């Protein structure tokens, strides 16, 4: 390996992981606005799991009328298709994986005909195929922290649920989760020392009716070292960054805090804006 001046040794680029193609084996309505799909099949052999609780994959959705074959050769497709005809990505958390059964579960938030992935999860046929890249992810609830603070909306439920299940019995903390109403609450497995608080907007999310930030600020702050996991709508996460980082002085290395989505934005626009000032949660 060559050593550039003043830098780290150069290494070869990691080969891209193969896309994973799985079939829809089961659909379950776990709450009025949440659908769980169980995905599996021979393609599970390409699923390279990660030992983290916020595993996410990027589904690729192609226009059915184009008849494209999975997995998608994106480089080839970019050369022959118009940009608007390329498969589009939608990011979702892996709720759980079962290596013995060779399946994964993925939960989708569904609000009528809004969005692409949620509508697909509601309407797709059992046996249909779906293609994705990943998983990626970094978060694990760690023993050295005195308190664990989870906060999020519906989109964060899978990752928060997985984190709570992974915690050892002696861990302490709180999970504050905002949903449309009481019908969307789920039974979560968690240590006795972790409180789960459900918040109700009593309607679909808008910037005016969200109640997550207020509830987080009103919760009594714990002493000691706090590990934070906060994910959800972008503007809400910006305000929670002000609280956790600026006001409570939680170190960035002790936080997993970012936006899963942005109100009024499709994911393509949301992802593109991450590179602009409006899309940044932290200033640097």
pLDDT digits (tens, 9 = 90+) for 3-24: 333 333 343 444 556 899 999 9
Model confidence at 230: pLDDT above 80: yes
User: Distance between alpha carbon 223 and the CA centroid of its chain, in Å?
Assistant: 28
pLDDT-based confidence at 280, cuts 50/70/90? Answer: confident
> Quick one: pLDDT at residue 12?
43
**pLDDT, the chain, mean:** 90
Residue 233 pLDDT grade (very low, low, confident, very high; cuts 50, 70, 90): very high
pLDDT given at position 8: 34
pLDDT of residue 16: 57
Which CA distances in Å does 21 have to 94, 119, 237?
A: 15, 19, 33
pTM, to two decimals = 0.89
Q: What pLDDT shows up at residue 284?
A: 65
Q: What is the pLDDT of residue 266?
A: 74
Is the confidence at residue 93, as pLDDT, over 70? yes
Please name each of the domains of the chain with its CATH number.
19-136 (2.40.30.10), 147-279 (3.40.50.80)
Q: Which of 11-25, 80-94, 170-184, 211-225 has the lowest mean pLDDT?
A: 11-25
Upper half-sphere CA count for residue 173 (Cβ side, 13 Å):
29
Find, among 263, 211, 252, 193, the residue nearest to 228 by Cα: 252
Please report the pLDDT score of residue 1 as a whole number. 35
* pLDDT over 70 percentage in the chain: 93
Q: Pairing state of beta strands 173-179 and 194-200?
A: parallel
- Model confidence band, residue 30 (pLDDT cutoffs 50, 70, 90): very high
Instruction: Give the per-residue pLDDT at 273.
Output: 65
Give the pLDDT confidence score for residue 269 in this predicted structure: 74
What is the model's pLDDT at position 265? Answer: 79
Q: What is the mean pLDDT of residues 232-257?
A: 96
pLDDT score, position 5: 30
What pLDDT is stored for residue 274 in this prediction? 73
Quote the Cα angle for 253-157-266, to 5°.
90
How high is the pLDDT of residue 281? Answer: 76
Res 154 pLDDT > 60? yes
For the cut 90, the answer to whether the pLDDT of residue 268 exceeds it is no
Task: Give the chain as a 3 state SS string.
Answer: CCCCCCCCCCCCCCCCCCCEEEEEEEEEEEECCEEEEEEECHHHHHCCCCCCCCCEEEEEECCHHHCCCCCCCHHHHHHHCCHHHCCEEEEEEEEEEECCCCEEEEEEECCCCCCCHHHHHHHCCCCCEEEEEEEECCCCCCCCCCEEEEEECHHHHHHHHHHHHHCCCCCCEEEEEEECCHHHCCCCCCCCCEEEEEEECCCCCCCCCCCHHHHHHHCCCCCCCEEEEEEEEHHHHHHHHHHHHHHCCCCHHHEEEEEEECCCCCHHHHHHHCCCHHHCCCCC
Q: With the CA atoms of 248, 253, 210 and 118 taken in that order, what torsion angle do they form, in degrees rounded to the nearest 10? A: -170
Choose the weakest-confidence range: 3-7, 111-115, 120-124, 197-201: 3-7
pLDDT of residue 3: 31
Percentage with pLDDT > 90 across the chain:
81
Enter the tokens of residue 183.
Answer: 């019908």
pLDDT at position 75 is 94
CB count within 10 Å of CB 192 equals 9
């Amino acid at each position: 390996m060559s050593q550039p001046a003043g830098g780290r040794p150069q290494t070869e680029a990691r080969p891209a992981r193969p896309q994973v193609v799985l079939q829809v084996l089961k659909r379950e309505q776990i709450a009025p606005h949440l659908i769980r799909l169980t995905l599996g099949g021979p393609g599970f052999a390409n699923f390279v799991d990660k030992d983290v609780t916020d595993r996410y994959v990027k589904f690729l959705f192609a226009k059915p009328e184009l008849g494209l074959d999975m997995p998608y050769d994106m480089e080839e497709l970019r050369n022959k298709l118009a940009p608007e005809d390329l498969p589009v990505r939608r990011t979702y958390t892996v709720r759980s994986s079962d290596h013995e059964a060779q399946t994964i579960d993925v939960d989708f938030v569904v609000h009528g005909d809004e969005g692409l992935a949620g509508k697909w999860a509601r309407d797709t046929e059992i046996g249909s195929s779906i293609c994705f890249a990943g998983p990626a992810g970094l978060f694990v609830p760690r023993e050295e922290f005195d308190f664990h603070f989870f906060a999020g909306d519906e989109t964060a439920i899978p990752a928060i649920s997985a984190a709570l299940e992974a915690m050892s019995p002696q861990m302490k903390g709180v999970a504050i989760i905002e949903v449309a109403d009481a019908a969307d609450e789920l039974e979560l497995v968690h240590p006795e020392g972790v409180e789960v608080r459900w918040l109700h907007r009593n309607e679909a999310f808008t910037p005016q009716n969200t109640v997550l930030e207020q509830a987080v600020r009103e919760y009594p702050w714990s002493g000691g070292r706090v590990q934070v996991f906060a994910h959800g709508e972008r503007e809400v996460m910006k305000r929670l960054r002000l609280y956790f980082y600026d006001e409570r002085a939680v170190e960035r290395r002790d936080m997993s805090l970012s936006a899963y989505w942005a109100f009024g934005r499709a994911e393509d626009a949301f992802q593109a804006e991450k590179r602009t000032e409006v899309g940044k949660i932290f200033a640097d």
